[in-house]
Structure formats: structure tokens, C-alpha cells
């Protein structure tokens, strides 16, 4: 395991621990992107309120902001606090989200678009936040505006140093202040647009937290805003330089860094960090998996793969053979993660088909459904002592080959979500006493929806269903995650202990096989 992978198991262990307090669906560590969206909306809403009362001149701004805090106490004060703390929390949550995605290995491979489109969001968030501090026009605002101007002047974008504007009161003109307001509205709008682009690459983006999580976050922010009111520093005065400044380190830390080093050094750090983040997707090896391939003759255009693809890589197009169906699936290779979840969704992926060399409607090159059936049949034939267990695992989680034994067959899929439910039935009908499915840690599917779709298919709430006549006590799902092999072995052992061995060929637990051919198409 690399250091990154080890750090990620630690992160996942923390996530699992938090599940106990929040439940997987409302676990903040699992839903950082969604919380970031929520915090953005909280800052936007409170910002609109503050803007209504803002005097948009340099001379009047300070007083008008203080008035919201003091004269509209407690409502104004809490809303001001909400604006500040939601913005601060957004920084924390965004970097936590970045760290999680990095540790999960999501900087590389087919996710490059999500990663690259995330980087400008950092810049836009900082530009929005720092500019927000200027609207108060207190000592901190003057300090921050001057420091920013000194920084920008280092590369000499304007013919005259921008910092000159802030050097004396006569030059701090209202027109400049209008620009600040324009920036503090325009930049967050650009951030929102960037956030929208950022989630285009995934289907059903998790961009709003569950009610519980949203409520918890909102309560925490309001309590914080009420308990720790935000205050301005004294009004800006260009003739004075404050000796000490109480500043917001989440947004304004670059200023002290610049004064401790130099504007040039800060530029080097910022561009260095940006370049590093931007080249990360291409550092190190992570070859892309082969993309899904549609077999037109086996596709009836049902659209299940289209509905289940976590990366919106499938489109439905007019069928090449109109007599088969009006539509068929088409994969957009540039978007495909190669996860195989579509193969698990396709009704043509059933092993109860007669032909030896059948194709699924949508198949993964090198991991065809027909080959999977062959592999399963051979593994079943090789099983000796009982009760016989078939373990289906996933390449992204613990390597299930390690539990292979005389009584245990182990097959690894690209993602657990690639498993067509009919394979469970097929295994039980062909000699297995039980089927165990495992994969990434609970709620942490590396391909986003593999676990969810699999569980829903097993529960019969999502197509294709696992047929109702399959005895559920002979099926177990264990989200064992990565690197927990002893735990997985224990799970297999305890599952086996719950199973009774059947005589080979005994199908009394289910209806006869012949009647079931292609049955899942009409559940």
C-alpha cells in the first residue's frame, strides 16, 4: 500500500466511526461536496440580506455594516455571523473534500475533469472571500486591499501601481468601492458557475445534503454566529497603520505569508500550488480501464444502463436495427470510467442464456459477462467440501482471491455494481450453498453508485431485480472495504457457519431452472 492508500484507509476508518453518530447517508465526511454547496447557498442568502443594508460608498460602508450588527441585533448580527462563518466553513470543507478526493486516488484517471475543474474553484472562492472583507472598509479591509494590491503590483498588471490607490484618503475614491462591490457579487456568481461545471461530469451529483445533515450544519452555524458575533475593526484610515490586526486566517493568511516573505515568494507559492494541482492527474501511473462496448444485436434499448451509469457516459440513440427496438445505448468513450456498472444493469447480462458465446447488451472488454459465467462455472465445478460459498468481490477493494479455498470460490469484478443479480441465482442453482458479495467500505463505492444499485437490485426496488424466490439467507452483502482481509475471512467463515450444505443438484429451495430462462426480463 502506498502512503496515500494508507492515509485513505485511515480516512475511511474515521468515516465508518462517524456513521455511528450520523448514519452513512448523513455522514458529513462522506458528503463534503454536498455540504460545500449548502454552505455556498447559506453565504449567498445571508450576503443578499447584508447587501440590502450596505451603503455602497467608501465613506458610508463601515457605518452601515456596523449598523446591521448593532441596530438590528440579534437578527442582523446572526446573519452577519452566518455570512462569515459559512464562508469560513466553506474553505475548511472544500479543502477536506480536495484531500478526500486526492487520498481516494480521484485526482487521476477518468476523473481528471472533476479534478481540474475543481482547481479554479479554489481561486474563485479565495477571490470572493478576500474581496468580501473589503466591503466593510475597516482597518482590516484597508490592510487586505493594500496587501492584495502590493501583491498584484509585483507582476505589474497596471501601468501605475494599484497599491497607490489605497495610500491616501483622497485617492480612495467611491468608484473603486463600486468595483469592490461588483467583484464581490460577480466572483461568487462565477464560483457558482464553476461549481455547476464541476459536477457536470458525474450523474446525479450529490449537491444537496440530506435533511438531517443540512439541519445539523445550519444549527451549528447559527449557534456559532450567535455565540461569537462578528465585529468590524475601526474604520479605515489611510494615515494610520494598525500595529496588530485580528484577521480571518482562513481567507487572509496569504497576507501575513507575503509580509513574512515577499510578494514574489507568494506568487511562487501560489503558482507552484496551482501547477501541482493541475498536473496531478498526469503524475504517476494510473492507466484508464477499457471502456464499455455496446452490442447492438443484444440491446433492446431499455435504458437501464443509461439510468445507472454514474458518469453520464451513456446516451440513447436510434437503433441500428430498427426491427429490434427504436433505441439503443451508445457509450461516449471519453466519459466512461470503465466501471462495468452498466453491464450489471443490462437485462441481456443474464447467465441463463443458452449460447456459450453470448454477449451482453453492454459488455466490458476483457471482462465479458459470458466469460464471467464461464469462470463461475469452472470455479463451482472445482469446489470440494461444503458448505460451498461463492464470493464476488471488486477490484477496488480487498482482493478476494485471498479467501479462495476448497470450499470457497472467489471472483473479482471491476465494481460490485457490475454483478447482474441473476448471477446470484445462477450460482445457487449450480452448486453454491451461499453467495457473498463484497466491495468498498459501506457508502464509499469508488464508482459512486455500485453499492447503491446492487443493494436496490437485490432488494427488488431497482431493475434488474434479484428474483423473489432466491432464498435471502443464502445471500450476504459485506462492504468490507480495502485492506481488511482478516475481517473478510471472518465474514466468510461466519456466513458459511450459517449455511447448510445441499446435495449437489438439489434445487428444492427454488423453482426449476428451465422455467426461469430469461425470466428477469419479466419479473
284's contact among ligand HEM, other proteins, ligand SF4, none, with CB below 5 to 8 A by partner kind, is none
Q: Which does 336 bind (CB under 5 to 8 A by kind): ligand SF4, other proteins, ligand HEM, none?
A: ligand SF4
* 114 interacts with ligand HEM by CB under 6 A: yes
- For residues 474 and 65, give the distance between their C-alpha atoms in angstroms, rounded to a whole number: 66
- Minimum distance from residue 165 beta carbon to other proteins (Å): 10
Q: What is the 3 state secondary structure string of 143-173?
A: HHHHHHHHHHHHCCCCCCCHHHHHCCHHHCC
Which residue's entry shows cell 453565504?
43
Determine, following the binding rule CB under 8 A, whether residue 238 of this chain makes contact with other proteins.
Answer: yes
Side-chain-side CA neighbours of residue 506 (13 Å): 9
Q: Exactly one of 26, 42, 54, 122 binds ligand HEM (CB under 6 A); which one?
A: 122
223: partner contacted, choices ligand SF4, ligand HEM, other proteins, none (Cβ within 5-8 A by kind): other proteins
Nearer to ligand HEM, 192 or 324 (CB): 192
Number of amino acids touching ligand HEM (CB under 6 A):
26
As measured in angstroms, the least distance from the Cβ of 197 to ligand HEM is: 11
Judged by beta carbon, residue 233 or residue 335, the one nearer ligand SF4 is: 335
**Structure-block grid coordinates of residue 308:** 445507472
Q: Which residues lie closer than 8 Å to 7 by C-beta, 6 or more apart?
A: 103
Regarding 202 and contact with ligand HEM (CB under 6 A), the answer is yes
CB of residue 299 vs ligand SF4: minimum separation in angstroms?
3
335 touches ligand HEM by CB under 6 A? no
Question: What is the rounded CA–CA span in Å between residue 286 and residue 403?
Answer: 26
Residue 324 CA to residue 361 CA, distance in Å, equals 12
CA gap 411, 372 in Å, rounded:
8
Which of the residues 227 through 256 are near ligand SF4 (CB under 6 A)? Answer: none
Q: Which does 199 bind (CB under 5 to 8 A by kind): ligand HEM, other proteins, ligand SF4, none?
A: ligand HEM
* Interface with ligand HEM, residue 396, by CB under 6 A: no
For 142, residues 6+ apart whose C-beta sits below 8 A from its C-beta are 166, 236, 237, 238
422 exposure class (CB count in 10 Å sphere: 0-12, 13-18, 19+): buried
Q: Choose among 235, 210, 220, 245: nearest CA to 27.
A: 210
Place of cell 440590502: 52
Binding of ligand HEM at residue 100 (CB under 6 A)? no
Cβ distance to ligand HEM smaller for residue 113 or 352: 113
Residues 355-374 that bind ligand SF4 (CB under 6 A): 361-362
Identify the residue among 67, 99, 192, 245 touching other proteins (CB under 8 A).
245
Indicate which of other proteins, ligand SF4, ligand HEM, none lies near residue 356 (CB less than 5 to 8 Å, by partner kind): none
Report if residue 461 touches other proteins, rule: CB under 8 A: no
Least distance to other proteins from the beta carbon of 141, Å? 14
Cell of 479: 462492504
Does the protein bind ligand SF4 through residue 313 (CB under 6 A)? yes
Evaluate the omega torsion of the peptide bond into residue 3 and state whether it is cis, within 30 degrees of 0. Answer: no
Question: Is 246 or 334 the residue whose CB approaches other proteins more closely?
Answer: 246
| Closest to 492 in 3D by CA, of 440, 420, 434, 441 | 434
> Which residue stretch of 19-27, 122-130, 266-274, 451-459 sits at the interface with other proteins (rule: CB under 8 A)?
19-27
d(CA 442, CA 458) in angstroms, rounded, equals 16
Q: Mask: binding to ligand SF4, 315-354, rule CB under 6 A, as x and -?
A: -------------xx-x----xxxxxxx--xxxx------
Residues belonging to the chain: 523
Checking phi first, is residue 233 left (phi over 0); if not, alpha (psi -120 to 50) or beta? beta
184 lies in the site for ligand HEM, by CB under 6 A: no
Check binding of 373 to ligand HEM (CB under 6 A).
no
Question: 188-205 burial, b for 16+ CB within 10 Å, e for fewer?
Answer: bebbbebbeebbebbbeb
Convert 309-378 into a string of H (helix), E (strand) and C (coil). CCCCCEEEEECCCCCCCCEEEEECCCCCCCCCHHHHHCHHHCCCCCCCCCCCCEEECCECHHHHHHHHHH
Shortest Å distance, C-beta 86 to ligand SF4:
34
Residue 66: exposure state from Cβ atoms within 10 A (0-12, 13-18, ≥19)? middle
Distance separating alpha carbons of residues 200 and 522, to the nearest angstrom:
34
Residue 346 binding result from other proteins, ligand HEM, ligand SF4, none, given CB thresholds of 5 to 8 Å by partner type: ligand SF4
Residues at the site binding ligand HEM, with contacts judged by CB under 6 A: 33-34, 36-37, 94, 97-98, 101, 106, 111, 114-115, 118-119, 121-122, 125, 195, 198-199, 202, 205-207, 277, 448
**Positions in the binding site for other proteins (CB under 8 A):** 18, 20-23, 28, 84-85, 88-89, 92, 143, 150, 153, 156, 159-161, 163-164, 167-168, 212, 216, 219-220, 223-224, 227-228, 230-231, 238-250, 255-256, 259
Which residues would be at the binding site for ligand SF4 (CB under 6 A)? Answer: 291-292, 294, 299-305, 309, 311, 313-314, 328-329, 331, 336-342, 345-348, 361-362
Amino acid at each position: 500500500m502506498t502512503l496515500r492508500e494508507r492515509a485513505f484507509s485511515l480516512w475511511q476508518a474515521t468515516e465508518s466511526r462517524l456513521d455511528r453518530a450520523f448514519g452513512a447517508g448523513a455522514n458529513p465526511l462522506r458528503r463534503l461536496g454536498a455540504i460545500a454547496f449548502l454552505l455556498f447557498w447559506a453565504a449567498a442568502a445571508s450576503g443578499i440580506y447584508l447587501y440590502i443594508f450596505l451603503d455602497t460608498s467608501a465613506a458610508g460602508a463601515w457605518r452601515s455594516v456596523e449598523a446591521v450588527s448593532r441596530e438590528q441585533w440579534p437578527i442582523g448580527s446572526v446573519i452577519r455571523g452566518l455570512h462569515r462563518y459559512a464562508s469560513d466553513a466553506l474553505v475548511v470543507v472544500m479543502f477536506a473534500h480536495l484531500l478526500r478526493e486526492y487520498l481516494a486516488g480521484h485526482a487521476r484517471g477518468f476523473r481528471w475533469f472533476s479534478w481540474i475543474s475543481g482547481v479554479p474553484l479554489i481561486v474563485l472562492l479565495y477571490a470572493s472571500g478576500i474581496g468580501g472583507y473589503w466591503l466593510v472598509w475597516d482597518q482590516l479591509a484597508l490592510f487586505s486591499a493594500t496587501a492584495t494590491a502590493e501583491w498584484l503590483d509585483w507582476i505589474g498588471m497596471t501601468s501605475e501601481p494599484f497599491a497607490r490607490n489605497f495610500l491616501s484618503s483622497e485617492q480612495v475614491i467611491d468608484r473603486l468601492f463600486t468595483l469592490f462591490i461588483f467583484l464581490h457579487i460577480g466572483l461568487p456568481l462565477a464560483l457558482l458557475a464553476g461549481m455547476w461545471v464541476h459536477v457536470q461530469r458525474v450523474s446525479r451529483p450529490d449537491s444537496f445534503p440530506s435533511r438531517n445533515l443540512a439541519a445539523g450544519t445550519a444549527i451549528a452555524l447559527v449557534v456559532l454566529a450567535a455565540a461569537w458575533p462578528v465585529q468590524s475593526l475601526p474604520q479605515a484610515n489611510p494615515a494610520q497603520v494598525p500595529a496588530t490586526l485580528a484577521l480571518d486566517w482562513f481567507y487572509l493568511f496569504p497576507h501575513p505569508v507575503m509580509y513574512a516573505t515577499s510578494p514574489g515568494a507568494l506568487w511562487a507559492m501560489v503558482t507552484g500550488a496551482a501547477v501541482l494541482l493541475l498536473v496531478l492527474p498526469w503524475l504517476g501511473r494510473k492507466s484508464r480501464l477499457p471502456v464499455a462496448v455496446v452490442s447492438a444485436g443484444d440491446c433492446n434499448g431499455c435504458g437501464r444502463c443509461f439510468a445507472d451509469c454514474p458518469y453520464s457516459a451513456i446516451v440513447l440513440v436510434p437503433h441500428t436495427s430498427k426491427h429490434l427496438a427504436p433505441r439503443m445505448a451508445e457509450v461516449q468513450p471519453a466519459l466512461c470510467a470503465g466501471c462495468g456498472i452498466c453491464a450489471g444493469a443490462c437485462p441481456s447480462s443474464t447467465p441463463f442464456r443458452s449460447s456459450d458465446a453470448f454477449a451482453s447488451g453492454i459488455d466490458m472488454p476483457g471482462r465479458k459477462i459470458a466469460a464471467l459465467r464461464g469462470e463461475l462455472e469452472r470455479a463451482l465445478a472445482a469446489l470440494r467440501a461444503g458448505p460451498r460459498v461463492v464470493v464476488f468481490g471488486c477490484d477496488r477493494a480487498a482482493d478476494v482471491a485471498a479467501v479462495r479455498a476448497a470450499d470457497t470460490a472467489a471472483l473479482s469484478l471491476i465494481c460490485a455494481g457490475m454483478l447482474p443479480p441473476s448471477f446470484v441465482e445462477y450460482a445457487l442453482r449450480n452448486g453454491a450453498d451461499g453467495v457473498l458479495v463484497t466491495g468498498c467500505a459501506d457508502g464509499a463505492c469508488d464508482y459512486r453508485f455500485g453499492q447503491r444499485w446492487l443493494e436496490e437490485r437485490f432488494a427488488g426496488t431497482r431493475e434488474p431485480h434479484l428474483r423473489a424466490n432466491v432464498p435471502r439467507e443464502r445471500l450476504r452483502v459485506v462492504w468490507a472495504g480495502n485492506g481488511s482481509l482478516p475481517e473478510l475471512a471472518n465474514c466468510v467463515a461466519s456466513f458459511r457457519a450459517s449455511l447448510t450444505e445441499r446435495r449437489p443438484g438439489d434445487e428444492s429451495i427454488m423453482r426449476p431452472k428451465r422455467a426461469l430462462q430469461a425470466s428477469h426480463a419479466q419479473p
